[in-house]
Amino acid sequence: MEHQNVDYFCEMLIISVKYGFVSDHHDGCFGIAVTIAVAFPDDGAWKRFHKLLDHFPMVVCVKVREGDERIVRIKEGNPAGCHVVIVDDLVQSGGTLIECQKVLAAHGAAKVSAYVTHGVFPKRSWERFAHKNEGGMENAFAYFWITDSCPHTVKAITNKRPFEVLSLAGSIADALLI
């Protein structure tokens, strides 16, 4: 039952993202002439979110085995020229998101950002995404949005680029008024 509630609040926030976040809260961050596309790092994320974001061009990635390695590939869609926002429900080490970003960039994405509802980030794994002054792979994500569902993470990433924290309070309050 708890897992269903997590998914519900995750979906409620995505609906907020769909109808207001991109246009109202971050005017200009995507650039006027850039098409926004949504990418899913795996089939699970696609199944969870694609109906909520169906008005965006979509890219679906998949993890495949090559020998002992798991490699992320594009299953469908074209990120070329787009500001691609990878959407998932949670992140821990971030390895899949990083591999997904690399594949999207290699296929011509103008920028790559991420939206993840639950930024768990054990053992300070968020540091892999924090912007460094010298640039390079460390600055691969233009924006990384998470919710405030994991307070220890929120405390650790406050005022660290590329992270921005979105409050779940409004979505929870709206859900309780049902």
Whole-number pLDDT of residue 34: 74
Tens of pLDDT, residue by residue over 68-108, are: 888 999 999 999 999 999 999 999 999 999 999 999 999 99
Which run of H or of E encompasses 73? strand 69-76
Whole-number pLDDT of residue 172: 86
Q: CB neighbours (10 Å) of residue 142?
A: 19
CATH topology of domain 34-176: Rossmann fold (3.40.50)
What pTM value is reported for the model? 0.82
**Could you tell me which of 64, 63, 48 has the C-alpha nearest to residue 6?**
48
Helices (H) and strands (E) in the chain, counts: 5, 7
Tens of pLDDT, residue by residue over 120-173, are: 999 999 999 998 865 555 569 999 999 999 999 999 999 999 999 999 988 888
10 or 38, higher pLDDT: 38
Whole-number pLDDT of residue 178: 64
